[in-house]
Amino acid sequence: MKSKIVWVLLLISSFGWSQIESKPIIYVTGLGKVRVVPDQVELTFAVETSGSKANEVQKSNMQKVDAVLKYLTSQGISSNDIQTERVYLNDQFLFERKKSNYVARQQITVLLKKIDSYDKIVEGLTEKGVNAIDNVQLKSSVAEQKKSEARKLAVESAKKKAAELAAASEVKLGKLFNITDMSSDYVPTQFTKQIYAMAESAMGDNSQSLAAGEMEIIVNIQATYLIEY
């Protein structure tokens, strides 16, 4: 039954496009851009411990991770905004010493809904045992709303472009036949902070280590209009 439905849909689609191919059309693209100041930070960091005994390394790392998670919740961060990403225990054989060295690593991602809490949180994380920041992304709590605004601008841009092309070609612009959103999800501002930046914060550096700036949300569409005579 499903295969029959698929074939029917394909036939309808083919029929529709065969009809449009026999008619004159105007094909345009539209671009919409909206700027927004980020108000959130997504921080991905890791706790890493090394040693000669696997069980001790793993236990020590788990204790540090537990302290980190308790610290985050103590700062009012919801458990829904904390995600454990990766956990692994790796055996690194040291040839010069002819013995194994074990490394335990736990990666965690947390969403900070107040961007100005970044420095304080990072300082607290270093004190609890975090020794690597893998990624930092600036985000906006109104990103979807702004994307809708950008989409409207893209449609208006395409419609204006089609009207200009029709006027320049001395033809009458007809109805919109097809429209497609070609854009992907907005890409948050992204950069990596190394442990030395965290250490500066932990040592009492009062300068702001995170500059928010602006994000640009972009929507691209493709539109096909019929030409009327």
> Is beta strand 40-51 parallel, antiparallel or unpaired with respect to 25-36?
unpaired
Tens digits of residue pLDDT in 124-163: 999 999 999 999 999 999 999 999 999 999 999 999 999 9
Residue 198 has pLDDT above 60, yes or no: no
Burial (0-12, 13-18, 19+ Cβ within 10 Å), 223: buried
User: Residue 165 pLDDT more than 80?
Assistant: yes
- Looking at the structure, do residues 172 and 227 belong to the same domain, yes or no? yes
Do residues 75 and 133 both lie within one domain? Answer: yes
For residue 26, what are the domain limits? 21-38+141-189+214-229
Q: Give the residue-averaged pLDDT of 220-227.
A: 96
Task: Count how many residues are written for the chain.
Answer: 229
Residues 129 and 77 in one domain: yes
If pLDDT is split at 50, 70 and 90, which confidence band does 108 have?
very high
Question: Buried b / exposed e across 16-31, counting CB within 10 Å, b at 16+?
Answer: eeeeeeeeeebebebe
Mean pLDDT of the chain: 83
- Per the structure, how many domains does the chain have? 2
Is residue 207 included in any domain, yes or no?
no
Residue 6 has pLDDT above 70, yes or no: no
Whole-structure pTM over 0.75, yes or no? Answer: no
Q: Look at residue 1 and tell me if it is in a domain.
A: no
Cα-based angle 85, 90, 92 (whole degrees, multiple of 5): 145
The sign of the torsion formed by the CA atoms of 47, 49, 54, 58 equals negative
Neighbour order of strands in the sheet with 25-36: 25-36, 215-228, 172-181
pLDDT at 26: 95
Is residue 4 predicted with pLDDT exceeding 50? no
| Mean pLDDT along residues 119-123 | 93
Residues 174 and 127 in one domain: no
Asked if residue 148 and residue 123 are part of one domain, the reply reads no
Same domain, 164 and 218: yes
Q: Which residues of 110-127 are buried (b: 16+ CB within 10 A; e: fewer)?
A: bbbeebeebbebbbbbbe
- CATH code, 45: 3.30.70.2970
Q: Are residues 111 and 121 in the same domain?
A: yes
Shared-domain flag, residues 130 and 147: no
